[in-house]
Structure 1
Amino acid sequence: MLTPTFWEIHSGLEREGPGDEASLMRALAMTEGLPAEPRILDLGCGPGAQTLSLLKHTAGTVTAVDTHQPFLDDLMSRARDAGVADRVTTSDASMADLPFEDESFDLIWSEGAIYFIGLPEGLAAWRRLLRPGGWIAVTEPCWLKPREALPQGALDNWAEYPAMATVQELEAVPARAGYRLAGSFVLPPAAWEAYYGPMQARVDVVRARHAGDAAALAEVARHQAEIDAYRAFGDCFSYLFLVMQRPA
């Protein structure tokens, strides 16, 4: 169960996982043949950093989905500030049970979220939502080294996700799910710093605010351990951006 201190740390962050605009643009450039005004579904949108970038770099509309209403509220506030609120619709829904009609979207986007239901499972479940010839782009945690070469600290950091695979293993998944893999790339360090830099600042503030509160400090310590693990073992793991097309 997520604690109040968890939400205190994450409140106000622009993104809920590694990513940056340069990586988004690189992935978006692989989606050849999108309509001039694509219908985009952003799954696990969080507070919507990538949602706003998709609106910036396309003339389309975005349906943004998350199960944490405050994230959706933050997204709409930022969309209003950016003058694009009329192109965003939010939906408080589960990625595993989406209330949309078949072939409703030209592009499905999901950064740092599909692993909650599993990459093969997500690709299979979401395929019906894409029009024939439509695109899907996701980021998925990956090992950058063979498992036998991974230090124990890196393995411990991802112990709760035993399905985590290597780059080569992940690149084989789309074809089995009925997609054509257009391209893939590993997120660069800048995409991680865009997430962990602001998080570290929040962790420092919350640590000072709750000095002496053992329960709050335990949550702070969990976040600090996650950040420290990336600093120590960032050469062992990352996220892989996969860009795929549903065959026409």
Structure 2
Amino acid sequence: MDEMQLFLEIHQNMPRQGPGNTASTLKALKLCAGLPSAPRVLDVGCGPGMQTMDLAQALDGPITGVDFFTQYVEELQKNIEKEGMADRVTAMQGDMEALFFPPASFDLIWSEGAIYIMGFEKGIHSWSPLLAPGGYLAVTEATWLKSEPPARVKQFWDEGYPLMKNIEGNLDIIQACGGEIIGHFVLPESAWWDHYYGPLEKRLEILEEKWADNPAGQEVLAMERTEIDLFKNYSDYYGYVFYVARFG
């Protein structure tokens, strides 16, 4: 089993694959004033789709959730069927770097905890043409909140996400890509713990015993624990920020 397979086993059947909560999703959605009565929505890197279903509850238009990993698409599909929303919500496997939709296909593009895979600037530049004129882009991004972080924090993020910027840097990128800044806010710490790090810590405890004789598995578990430990001790230096912008 390679590192990616190990990672997927750790994260399978998790409520979320990154920080976020319903309150933050709905707070960002309120910033998207003047959407059509039935907006066309694309959720990029949707994971198991907790936020996808929150959007479906709040809006009346068609919603497409796209993720690269089949297991997350299948989890979202189960939730769609459970909530009886198959007529409006579609779960689809796809690559965020090669989305197959024509220009101006959506009124709202959403992405929570996933744009880092492409990089913030590349993601906004690639996705914004898919918006109809006046459409909104709402994304969360790992962001520096304070300058001069401790060495171990900076090393961790420099290795994991060297493109990470502060809020001002990300706002500059949005504007350089032609976006109008509508608003931004830092996700609360509860958005990290309730549906992400909390369940993840319990999963790590279970896998610690299962992978006791698996060196590769132990290494991946150690990386996950390091990430959680850093946030416990240094969350004032970095966090996830919701950015909402309008294009066209």
| TM-score after normalising by structure 2 | 0.95
1:37 counterpart residue number = 38
Tell me the CA shift for residue 213 of structure 1. Answer: 2.4
Q: Letter of the 1:164 partner, please give it.
A: M
Deviation string 1:172-199 (CA, Å, 9 cap, x unpaired) is: 2211100101000011101111310111
Question: What does residue range 92-241 of structure 1 map to in structure 2 within 5 Å?
Answer: 92-146=93-147, 149-159=148-158, 160-193=160-193, 194-241=195-242
3-state DSSP class of the match of 1:141?
strand
* Identical residues among aligned pairs (%): 39
- Between the aligned partners of 1:115 and 1:210, the Cα distance in structure 2 is 29
Instruction: State the alpha-carbon separation in 1 of the partners of residues 210 and 41 from structure 2.
Output: 40
1:69-88 aligned at under 5 Å gives the runs: 69-88=70-89
- Is residue 58 from structure 1 mapped to residue 62 from structure 2 by the alignment? no
Contact 2:39-2:62 within 8 A present in 1 as well: yes
Matched, 1:17 2:18: yes
Tell me the amino acid that sits aligned with residue 161 of structure 1.
Y
**CA RMSD after TM alignment:** 1.2
SS in 2 for 1:145: coil
Could you say what secondary structure the match of 1:240 adopts? strand
Runs of 4 or more off by more than 4 Å in structure 1? Answer: none
5+ residue gaps in structure 2? none
Q: Equivalents in 1 of 2:233, 2:52: separation in Å? A: 30
Instruction: Check conservation: 2:3, 2:220, Cα contact below 8 A.
Output: no
SS at match of 1:172: helix
Contact 1:184 1:242 in 2 (8 A): yes
Q: Residue type matched to 1:123 in 2?
A: I
Distance, in Å, in 1 between the alignment partners of 2:243 and 2:135 is 14
- Structure 1 residue runs of 5 or longer lacking an equivalent are none
Structure 1 residue 208: Cα displacement: 2.0
Distance 2:91 2:99 in 1: 12
Please give the alpha-carbon distance, in whole angstroms, between the structure 2 residues aligned to 1:239 and 1:20: 12
